[in-house]
Amino acid sequence: MNRRANQLFYFGRAAARGLRGSPVTTAVAVITIGMALVLVGAFQLLLRNMEELLDEFSEDLQVTAYLDDSVSDDERRHLVSVIRTVEGVEEVRSVSKSEALARFRAGVGAGSGLLEGLDENPLPASLEIQLVSERRSPEGMRVVVESIRGLPGIADLASGQDWVAGYLRAIAIVRGVGIGLSVILAIAALLIITNNIRLAVVARRDELDILWLVGGSRAFMNTPFLVEGFLQGAIGGVVAVALLYAVFLAILPGFEVAFELVLGGEPRFFSAGEALTLIGQGAALGLLGSAAAVGGSARS
Amino acid sequence: MARGDAAIRMYHCSKSYLAASFALQDVSLEFAKGEFAFLTGPSGAGKTTLLELLFGAEQPSEGQIVVLGRNISRLGNRAIPQLRRRIGVVFQDFKLLPRLTVEANVGLALDVLGTPRRETRARVFAILKQLGLQHRRDHHPLSLSGGEQQRVAIARALVNEPEILLADEPTGNLDPDLTLEIMDLVAGAALRGTTVLVATHELDLVARYGKRVVRLEGGRVVEDHRPAGAAS
């Protein structure tokens, strides 16, 4: 092992000794970071699921153009060819009145008897317009809808534009609240870690004096405290992920049904990478807090 | 380097903590490499301040100090720890960490150098054996006698083979038998080529070794006595 590796080994031992030597303050720091990250993580989890649902939903986003009953087959084919040339349109599929009726019957199942008394098919023919992926947004859809609106033979246009816009607003609110709350909690956790490490520095003043005496550089004396803060933060992150997972599993059954009913998807927990990111955020908080604590406190 | 080369040079050094109150005043001294000398004088004479100036704990208010070829006043923050690694320091109150074992306490001086753990253990064992403490290496300082604690402190000061050993009243807390035992260990370091400065007010002890004696009073050197043939 080279000199640097030996020093790293020493820093690890010294940090572990520090954590063991003050179990109460260590536990306070770990729990504080853990609780802060549980809330931050809960918002991140909610956002991830909302964004994922939006992605899934966006795949199915399309504009539907309902046609006048007077539109002939030739005119319908012409409309299809015109709409295909509109920028942002990927594919146009024609749905005849009879196909629309068949779909309706299949969709309502036993309730299809409702249509038995009608003399004629009340459902209009339509054109289902698929958008290129870049246009599957409220703004993209609006542009396409405006381009198509007014073409002869089109009676009405429908799209998920308003729904998506509302959903995006909800995501923005969750993100805003999450970021605001995360910043406040991060500052609170940071202050507590800074205070804990500062107490540790004071408690180990004698050790620092002796390290200084035998030629320890400032960096050498500070690093075990940085490692300590880093470990406290990382352990807090692990606690947060474990707690979130426990809560996720506990509320999943009820949540799953609601999710499935409303949006047809399944909620999911963090991936391994996302969980590691949350733990990394804890470690970074710990490192920052300890860096603030040791800054200028060790003898130079 | 020749034996007569200076390990320590002090040029007109003064140290004041308050205006017009000098802990050390216009001190010029030179100690050769491998020299063994005593600093004596009553309490408050400036012995501790002089030693603190030599290992960089304090900076002189006036004058220059060159230790092992480095001018302490001009050393940056990075260079002072490097110099301190070449100087062993022993105090009256031992300055051992009660949480650490004897082995870990002594090993601190090697930890700062990034010495491999296996080598650290071997060197710590060797110095503890030399000082008759190998059987105490897993003990904690508070379970040791005063003499044993001071021997641990000396082991820590010597384990990285320093070029200078500074001892500030190293036997102040010990009974007469232990005092001689500790002083013989310190004198042994000088025999191996280490420059040794011992601050003490115990004149009997000073007389016993027949080495150079620098006497301080009120922060000034009032006597610098070199017995014939007392180079080390």
**Domain finish residue from A137, A159, A181:** A159
Q: A143 and A129: one domain?
A: yes
Contacts of B83 in chain A (CB under 8 A): 215
Angle (deg, nearest 10), helices A138-148 and A161-203? 170
Q: A295 and A238: one domain?
A: yes
pLDDT above 80 (res A230): yes
Number of domains composing chain A: 2
User: CA A109: distance to chain centroid?
Assistant: 37
Q: A267 and A288: one domain?
A: yes
Q: Does A23 touch chain B (CB under 8 A)?
A: no
**Domain finish residue from A106, A130, A159:** A159
The pLDDT of residue A219: 87
CA terminus-to-terminus distance, chain B: 16
Q: What is the mean pLDDT of residues A101-124?
A: 74
Nearest CB to B114 within list A6, A207, A214: A6
Q: Does A91 touch chain B (CB under 8 A)?
A: no
The pLDDT of residue B11: 95
Contacts of B95 in chain A (CB under 8 A): 206, 209-210, 213
Longest CA–CA span in chain B (Å) reads 52
Nearest CB to B114 within list A4, A210, A300: A4
State which residue of chain A sits closest to B90, comparing Cα positions. Answer: A213
The structure tokens listed for A210 are 């002796």
> Does the distance separating the beta carbons of A210 and B95 come in below 8 Å?
yes
Rounded to a whole number of angstroms, the distance from the CA of A213 to the nearest CA of chain B is 7
- Please write the tens of the pLDDT for every residue from A190-212: 888 888 888 888 888 888 889 98
Rounded to a whole number of angstroms, the distance from the CA of A6 to the nearest CA of chain B is 5
Q: Does A58 touch chain B (CB under 8 A)?
A: no
Q: A186 and A295: one domain?
A: yes
> Does the distance separating the beta carbons of A6 and B115 come in below 8 Å?
yes
Q: Does A20 touch chain B (CB under 8 A)?
A: no
Q: A49 and A181: one domain?
A: yes
Task: Give the Cα separation of A244 and A217 in Å (integer).
Answer: 41
Q: Are strands B212-217 and B220-225 parallel, antiparallel or unpaired?
A: antiparallel
| % of chain B residues with pLDDT over 70 | 97
The CA-atom distances, in angstroms, between A117 and each of A105, A110, A113, B77 are 14, 15, 8, 96
**Per this entry, what is the length of chain B?**
232
The structure tokens listed for A247 are 């809560």
pLDDT above 80 (res A164): no
Nearest CB to A213 within list B95, B115, B116: B95
| Residue that wins the pLDDT comparison between A104 and A246 | A246
**Per this entry, what is the length of chain A?**
300
Please report the ipTM that was assigned to this predicted complex.
Answer: 0.83
State chain A's mean pLDDT as an integer: 84
Q: A291 and A227: one domain?
A: yes
Beta bridge partners of A89: A131
The pLDDT of residue A113: 66
The pLDDT of residue A265: 65
> Does the distance separating the beta carbons of B81 and A220 come in below 8 Å?
yes
- Please write the tens of the pLDDT for every residue from A32-86: 889 888 988 888 888 888 887 777 777 677 888 999 888 888 888 888 999 998 8
Contacts of B77 in chain A (CB under 8 A): 218, 300
The structure tokens listed for A189 are 């956790």
State which residue of chain A sits closest to B85, comparing Cα positions. Answer: A215
Q: What is the mean pLDDT of residues A271-286?
A: 93
Nearest CB to A6 within list B55, B95, B117: B117
- What's the number of CA atoms in the CB half-sphere (13 Å) around residue B94? 22
The pLDDT of residue A298: 46
Contacts of B108 in chain A (CB under 8 A): 210-211, 214
**Amino acid making up residue A72:** S
Q: What is the mean pLDDT of residues B192-197?
A: 93
**Would you say A9 and B117 are in contact if contact means Cβ atoms under 8 Å apart?**
yes
Main-chain dihedrals φ then ψ at residue B69, nearest 5 degrees: 80, 0
Beta bridge partners of B212: B37
Strands (E) in chain A, as ranges, are 62-67, 89-95, 126-131, 154-158
Contacts of A218 in chain B (CB under 8 A): 77, 81
* A69: exposed, middle or buried (Cβ count in 10 Å: 0-12, 13-18, 19+): exposed
Going across the sheet that includes B21-32, the strands are B21-32, B6-18, B62-67, B70-71
- Please write the tens of the pLDDT for every residue from B15-33: 998 777 889 999 999 999 9
The CA-atom distances, in angstroms, between B165 and each of B7, B60, B162 are 11, 20, 7
pLDDT above 90 (res B173): no
DSSP B6-31: EEEEEEEEEEEEETTEEEEEEEEEEE
Instruction: Using DSSP, state whether B155 is helix, strand or coil.
Output: helix
pLDDT above 60 (res A150): yes
- Please write the tens of the pLDDT for every residue from B86-98: 999 998 888 999 9
State which residue of chain A sits closest to B120, comparing Cα positions. Answer: A6
Q: What CATH number has the domain bearing residue A103?
A: 3.30.70.3040
Main-chain dihedrals φ then ψ at residue B8, nearest 5 degrees: -135, 130
pTM for the whole structure: 0.70
Residues of B contacting chain A (CB within 8 angstroms): 55, 77-78, 81-86, 89, 95-97, 99, 108-109, 111-117, 156, 160
State which residue of chain A sits closest to B95, comparing Cα positions. Answer: A210
Q: How confident is the model at residue B4 (pLDDT cuts 50, 70, 90)?
A: very low
Which structural domain range is residue A126 located in? 62-159
Instruction: Using DSSP, state whether B165 is helix, strand or coil.
Output: strand
Torsion region of B147: left, alpha or beta (phi above 0 gives left; psi -120 to 50 gives alpha)? alpha
Contacts of B160 in chain A (CB under 8 A): 214
- From the list A227, A182, A221, the residue with the least C-alpha distance to A205 is A221
Task: Give the Cα separation of B180 and B131 in Å (integer).
Answer: 13
The CA-atom distances, in angstroms, between A269 and each of A171, A201, A266, A275 are 18, 39, 10, 9
Q: A147 and A176: one domain?
A: no
- From the list B213, B194, B191, the residue with the least C-alpha distance to B204 is B213
Q: A253 and A104: one domain?
A: no
Q: A180 and A102: one domain?
A: no
Write out the H or E segment, with its range, that includes residue B88: strand B87-91
Q: Does A8 touch chain B (CB under 8 A)?
A: no
- What's the number of CA atoms in the CB half-sphere (13 Å) around residue B9? 10
> Does the distance separating the beta carbons of A210 and B97 come in below 8 Å?
yes
State which residue of chain A sits closest to B162, comparing Cα positions. Answer: A214
Q: A270 and A129: one domain?
A: no
**Domain finish residue from A138, A159, A180:** A159
Q: How confident is the model at residue A14 (pLDDT cuts 50, 70, 90)?
A: confident
The pLDDT of residue A5: 82
Q: A86 and A234: one domain?
A: no
Beta bridge partners of A68: none
Task: Give the Cα separation of A173 and A150 in Å (integer).
Answer: 35
Q: A189 and A277: one domain?
A: yes
pLDDT above 90 (res A259): no
Q: Which residue has the tokens 């199915």?
A: A60
pLDDT above 90 (res A115): no
State chain B's mean pLDDT as an integer: 89
> Does the distance separating the beta carbons of B99 and A21 come in below 8 Å?
yes
Longest CA–CA span in chain A (Å) reads 102
The pLDDT of residue A299: 42
The pLDDT of residue B119: 93
Of B1-10, B92-101, B118-127, B134-143, which gets the smallest average pLDDT?
B1-10
Torsion region of B137: left, alpha or beta (phi above 0 gives left; psi -120 to 50 gives alpha)? alpha
Q: How confident is the model at residue B66 (pLDDT cuts 50, 70, 90)?
A: very high
State which residue of chain B sits closest to A214, comparing Cα positions. Answer: B109
